[in-house]
Structure 1
Amino acid sequence: MKIVLLQDVKSLGKAGTLVEVSEGYARNFLLPKKLGAAATAENLNTLKLKQANEAKIAAEQLAEAKALAAKIEAGSVTVHIKGGENGKTYGSVSTKELAEAVKEQLGLELDKKKIALAEPIKNFGSYETVVKLHRDVQATLKVNVTEAK
């Protein structure tokens, strides 16, 4: 019996795939638990429309991420932090502070979890950090750390 999976099933596959299973397995397990639906023309058409819609949404998200990456790479952010002697800072610059600086200076909403610092910024100077916007899109954010007065 052919079944369209509505949810991920560990031994069969991911949601939205068409699988061939025994009638008993479909009738006694997949259908009652709403893990799958019979592969009728209506269900196959619904599946096709759903996949097309998901592909369209994914393409839109990718385009938005690329546009945001271009804006991030075009600008730079300056962060002011208290410092001591020899160019050392009191504490370090966090991703939260970087996200707030991007919002203030560039006017872009950025989640602090998307900013990837290779190591904590503990000195004054210029740095480049990676911002992961999408699984296929990364941007480089230029950060200048200066002493607060």
Structure 2
Amino acid sequence: MKLILTHEVTGLGEPGDIIEVKDGYGRNYLIPRGYAIRWSRGGEKDVAAIRRARKVREIRTLDQATEVKGRLAGLKVTLQTRAGDTGRLFGSVTVADVVAAIKAAGGPDIDKRRVEIGTPIKTVGSHRITVRLHQEVSAALDLDVVPA
């Protein structure tokens, strides 16, 4: 099945890429979640628009990625959330919460799809977050979760 990616999918490609996948994977996973659309001749026009939008928000060069990595390395990111007496959170910390905390700490705007949380954050304390800035550059960030 031939598809056009609308979002970045790890291992497949970036928005605007035309990919070939098995029918079931495309029909049951990529298309229903909005990660891809079916390829057609008319869809080729959409590829240009998707790539233009990607260039606006993407980190273009390796130098720019290392600059953003340096800005992230110097940040002290703290996230206040509700927690019980034992230090366990009511719910878990989401990627959107992390992006908002980075922004509140004076950091750069980061696309939430680039933030990777290894294991779900459900306790108060310091946690390690990875931000993929470029194919070759990723930044490690310490997130302090404190009770509100």
Q: TM-score, normalised by structure 2?
A: 0.58
- Which blocks of at least 5 consecutive residues in structure 1 are unaligned? 1-7, 11-59
Alignment RMSD (CA, Å): 1.9
Match of 1:65 in 2: 65
Alignment pair present for 1:76 and 2:76: yes
How far apart, in 1, do the equivalents of 2:66 and 2:77 lie?
19
1:140–1:124 distance in 2 versus 1, CA, 3 Å = same
How far apart, in 1, do the equivalents of 2:94 and 2:100 lie?
10
Q: 8 Å contact 2:75–2:107 — kept in the other structure?
A: no
Match of 1:105 in 2: 105
Q: 8 Å contact 2:125–2:146 — kept in the other structure?
A: yes
Shift of 1:103: 1.0
- Structure 1 segment 39-54 matched on structure 2, within 5 A: none
Aligned length: 92
Shift of 1:108: 1.0
How far apart, in 1, do the equivalents of 2:86 and 2:104 lie?
29
SS, match of residue 83 in structure 1: coil
Match of 2:51 in 1: none
- Which blocks of at least 5 consecutive residues in structure 2 are unaligned? 1-17, 21-59
How far apart, in 1, do the equivalents of 2:78 and 2:123 lie?
13
How far apart, in 2, do the equivalents of 1:122 and 1:138 lie?
24
Match of 2:132 in 1: 132
Percentage of identical aligned residues: 30
Shift of 1:61: 1.3
Match of 1:38 in 2: none
Shift of 1:107: 3.4
Alignment pair present for 1:144 and 2:144: yes
Q: Runs of 4+ in structure 1 displaced over 3 angstroms?
A: none
